[in-house]
Homo-oligomer: A and B are copies of this chain.
Amino acid sequence: MASIKDIAARTGLSLATISRVFNDSPKVSAKTRQKVLKVAAELHYVPNIGAAALRSGKSRVIGVLIPEINNHFFGEVVTGIEKKMKNWGYNIIISQTHESSDLELEMLESFMKLNVDGIIISTTKEPTDPTIFKKLKDKKVPVVFFDRLPPVHSHSSVILDDHEGGQIATQHLIDQGCKHIVHIAGDKNVSIFQQRQRGFEDALRLNNHPFDSHQIFELTTDTKSNKKLIQKLLTDHPDIDGFFAHGDYYALYVMDILKSLNVDIPNKIKIVGFGNTDFTDHLQPSLTTVDQNCHQMGQLTAETLMKHIESDEIIHSKQVLTPKLVVRDSSN
């Protein structure tokens, strides 16, 4: 494990000079720089950024905390974040909460122990203990939320206009001639799912469509019973001609059942999902869905965090991205 000390010994230079070389300080002659780099290469020197972090108070590591790695949306956003951060010379460490607020707390504390320079979070479905966010504020760790955020907080955020997403999806179904649309709703604890539902309801209202409570269809966590419930819904209301699901997977449930009942999609019933998950394009028929602009969200989140890290004056911003409807065969 060669250190700058070894390089100093071998070159006859001082520690300070070696350090300057690796920090791209302009105050070092080309000749010395050459010599240092040569010896460093010979010694297979690798800077110890832990030590640097200890001294400088900056770790150049930022923590990313998301509910689930194995989720198309989060994965894409993280990739966007990663890309930007790498350009800035930052490493990111990713942890998942698996939708547990206990784990969320644990991982955040773990981030703090690692002295991360900043934190990016998308919260769990379980309501988060608000004290943790206060703690983060006390510690003055820059924090940016994306997509999912706690009901009350005092940090910056980057979100999608989920209300708009729900509305354009529903409006599209209406434009395609649907008269009796059902919304497959998501978890009530998650604000973005609420927003999508409100978008749905508002679209119906704006078009003077009738609305009954059965048009908000709530799912359980059990796949099998979900399927049965949807099946019952269809027999109870045979004139249903459209579904807007809060997530692509749930759109898939519905498609699955409709296919097994030999219902013609899209001629008898049209379907729209949410998320533009990668499989949606491969389905038969391909699924109309709402694109969340994951990559852009990631980049924007990263940029926002960097602004907070670089400037001490704390200006909290709320940025809202606009979703985009991707029309495919399931509604056309």
A residues lining the B interface (CB < 8 Å): 1, 44, 46-51, 53-54, 59, 61, 68-70, 72, 75-76, 78-79, 82, 91-96, 98, 109-110, 112-115, 135, 138-139, 249, 252-253, 255-256, 259-260, 279, 282-284
A70 CB contact (under 8 Å) in B79, B92, B255: B79
A47 cross-chain contacts in B, Cβ below 8 A: 113
- B94 and A94 contacting across the interface, CB-CB below 8 Å: yes
Distance, CA A93 to CA B279, complexed state (A): 28
- A72 and B69 contacting across the interface, CB-CB below 8 Å: no
A260 cross-chain contacts in B, Cβ below 8 A: 284
- If the complex has contacts A69-B94, A72-B70, A75-B70, are A113 and B284 also in contact, measured as CB distance less than 8 A? no
Distance, CA A289 to CA B294, complexed state (A): 29
A1 cross-chain contacts in B, Cβ below 8 A: 139
A79 cross-chain contacts in B, Cβ below 8 A: 69-70, 96, 98
The complex is assembled from copies of this chain, and their number is 2
- B110 and A91 contacting across the interface, CB-CB below 8 Å: yes
- A50 and B96 contacting across the interface, CB-CB below 8 Å: no
Closest partner residue, chain B, to A63 (CB atom) = B93
- A51 and B54 contacting across the interface, CB-CB below 8 Å: yes
Whole-angstrom distance between the Cβ of A12 and the nearest chain B Cβ:
26
Closest partner residue, chain B, to A91 (CB atom) = B110
A61 cross-chain contacts in B, Cβ below 8 A: 114
A114 CB contact (under 8 Å) in B50, B94, B282: B50
A76 cross-chain contacts in B, Cβ below 8 A: 70
Closest partner residue, chain B, to A115 (CB atom) = B50
Whole-angstrom distance between the Cβ of A68 and the nearest chain B Cβ:
8
Distance, CA A283 to CA B135, complexed state (A): 45
A70 cross-chain contacts in B, Cβ below 8 A: 69-70, 72, 75-76, 79
Q: A47-B113, A69-B78, A79-B98 are in contact. List 4 more A-B contacts (CB 8 A).
A: A70-B76, A79-B96, A93-B93, A259-B284
Q: Which of A1, A72, A113 has the most CB of B within 10 A?
A: A113
A93 cross-chain contacts in B, Cβ below 8 A: 91, 93-94
Closest partner residue, chain B, to A83 (CB atom) = B98
- B48 and A50 contacting across the interface, CB-CB below 8 Å: no
Whole-angstrom distance between the Cβ of A58 and the nearest chain B Cβ:
11
A–B Cβ pairs within 8 angstroms, 5 of them:
A50-B114, A91-B95, A91-B114, A252-B279, A256-B283
Distance, CA A1 to CA B141, complexed state (A): 11
Whole-angstrom distance between the Cβ of A114 and the nearest chain B Cβ:
6
A113 cross-chain contacts in B, Cβ below 8 A: 46-49
- If the complex has contacts A47-B113, A79-B69, A114-B91, are A256 and B279 also in contact, measured as CB distance less than 8 A? no
Distance, CA A205 to CA B68, complexed state (A): 43
